[in-house]
Amino acid sequence: MIVGSIAGIGAGLAAIGAGIGIGNIGGKAMEGMARQPEAASKIQTAMLIAAAFVEAVALFAVVVAFLGTGQTN
Amino acid sequence: MDLSHIFNSKKIFRISFYAVLFSFLSFAAFSEEHAAADTSHAAATEVHAEPKEKDEDISKVILHHIADSHEWHFFGHVALPLPVILWTDNGLVTFMSDKFGHNDHGTELIDADGTGLVNYHGKFYYPAESKSADGTYISHDSKGEITNGKPLDISITKNVVSLLISVVILLVVFIGIANAYKKREGKAPKGMQSILEPIILFVRDDIAKPQLGHKYRGFMPYLLTVFFFVWLNNLMGLVPFFPGGANLTGNIAVTMMLALCTFVLTTVNGNKNYWGHVFTPHVPWWLYPLMIPVEIVGLFVKPVALMIRLFANITAGHILILSLISLIFILKSVFVAGIAIPFVLFISVIELVVGFIQAFIFTILSALFIGMAVEESHAEH
């Protein structure tokens, strides 16, 4: 029997979204660094900030999923 | 074309150098501890043939490990009792957490200087009139929520002790360094100074200056404090034995206070330009009813996002490590350890890097928000 809550699926879906987002950010940043290696440090800082914003969305979902699972018990 | 240009950026090199350095400093300790924990746990499961660890208990065990507590658990039945300070209906009540035994199932009444209390899952409640069906003095409503009253708990818990330890470490290290700079002005750094000077310069040159411009100087003390506080506590949370082990930056109250500091700094230092952006945004006037509420919500969302980001990152890391160790108990085989423990080590090393990155991101976003508040107006708006 599979036991769990639907909140877990929600967290997983959010992880897909954040994965696409962070993948895009990382890929584009690498492209940028390859074109302009001298701007690498600036690109990296901007990349980390953008990744943090995207990641926050996934983490909101994780927190909501936790709250959701807590309710079912 | 050779690949050396990748390392030309001093910053990348510096970040990776420190990340790797600190990873390997703790690596040995980690492997030993995990190995020890593994064997002792394995031995324990064999001795206790009774089905003590049920599958459903594992999530409870994990949540118990990342939660705050009234005692500092070392190993087996050895724990450091911590003072419990409660503000009850009868005034202040204090006692050591081991005074009334370790019963936290809510089945035993505690009489603390005339105030009746009951310890249920590590929290103190006023007992219900009579025992409920499950033998506890805790009453639940139809939704399963606890209806007992609760005294105000201002105890010195594990997290508070860990906070004080980290404060002492930071004060000793940084007052020492500050004095060294005064004494050895103009000379090359020495000892602890040489370890931390590049990191301090990193915070100044890569976090404060790009975000705050020429006003960076006044905010450096805050940014340095927050960076080293978060970083030290992230690392201490990953150490599984005594001085570490408290999940401080994975506690939402702690991250809330940190985010609140940033919020207060941005609000207090916000200039005319900043508030102008909030209350008279550069949009056609008929969009104001939409834009002004959005801007006001934005003021509060920024620190809330800071709070949740740090909390959720660190908590998720701890849960991941504990879940991987729990695999051994879920699958009920010691041989799973062969896969689980190397994986735990791998994740632990990643967590060391995450600890640094989260401290960096918390600091740079704080600097960014403060920078938005103190920014002078641009011609092109």
CA-based nearest residue to B157, from B92, B77, B253: B253
Residues of B in contact with A37 (CB under 8 A): 5-6, 8-9
Give the pLDDT of chain A (73 residues) as one tens digit per residue: 556 677 778 888 888 999 999 999 999 999 999 999 999 888 988 888 888 888 878 877 877 777 766 554 4
Hey, are the CB atoms on B361 and A63 less than 8 Å from each other? no
Tell which wins on pLDDT, B374 or B45: B374
Distance CA B53, CA B59 (A): 11
Confidence of residue B359 (pLDDT cuts 50, 70, 90): very high
H/E element holding B259? helix B252-269
Distance CA B365, CA B303 (A): 9
- Residue A50 contacts B, CB cutoff 8 Å: no
- Residue A55 contacts B, CB cutoff 8 Å: yes
Nearest CB to A44 within list B12, B144, B305: B12
Using the Cα atoms of residue B136, residue B139, residue B145 and residue B149 in order, give the sign of their dihedral: negative
A10 in Cβ contact with A64 (< 8 Å): yes
Distance CA B236, CA A64 (A): 27
Hey, are the CB atoms on A56 and B364 less than 8 Å from each other? no
**Could you read off the pLDDT of B61-97 as tens digits, one per residue?**
888 888 888 888 887 778 888 888 888 888 888 888 7
Residues of A in contact with B6 (CB under 8 A): 37, 40
In DSSP terms, B80 is beta-bridged to B72
The CB-side HSE value for B284 (13 A sphere, CA atoms) comes to: 2
The pLDDT of residue B26 is: 45
Tell which wins on pLDDT, B106 or B356: B356
Tell me the percentage of chain B whose pLDDT exceeds 90. Answer: 27
Burial class (CB in 10 A: 0-12, 13-18, 19+), B258: buried
Hey, are the CB atoms on B308 and A52 less than 8 Å from each other? no
**Could you read off the pLDDT of B290-333 as tens digits, one per residue?**
999 999 999 999 999 899 889 988 988 898 888 888 888 888 88
Distance CA B288, CA B243 (A): 53
Query: What does pTM read for this prediction?
Result: 0.79
- Residue B9 contacts A, CB cutoff 8 Å: yes
How many residue contacts between A and B have a Cβ separation below 8 Å? 51
Surface of B (119-178) touching A: CB under 8 A: 144
Tokens representing residue B25 in the block: 């400093």
- Residue A15 contacts B, CB cutoff 8 Å: no
Nearest CB to A41 within list B11, B313, B361: B11
Hey, are the CB atoms on A45 and B9 less than 8 Å from each other? no
Chain A's closest residue to B144, CA to CA, is A73
User: Among B98-112, B333-347, B350-364, which stretch is predicted with the lowest mean pLDDT?
Assistant: B98-112
Chain A's closest residue to B12, CA to CA, is A41
Distance CA A31, CA A9 (A): 33
Question: What are the backbone angles phi and psi of residue B193, rounded to the nearest 5°?
Answer: -55, -45
User: Among B21-25, B30-34, B348-352, which stretch is predicted with the lowest mean pLDDT?
Assistant: B30-34
User: Among B21-25, B151-155, B307-311, which stretch is predicted with the lowest mean pLDDT?
Assistant: B21-25
Chain A's closest residue to B252, CA to CA, is A63
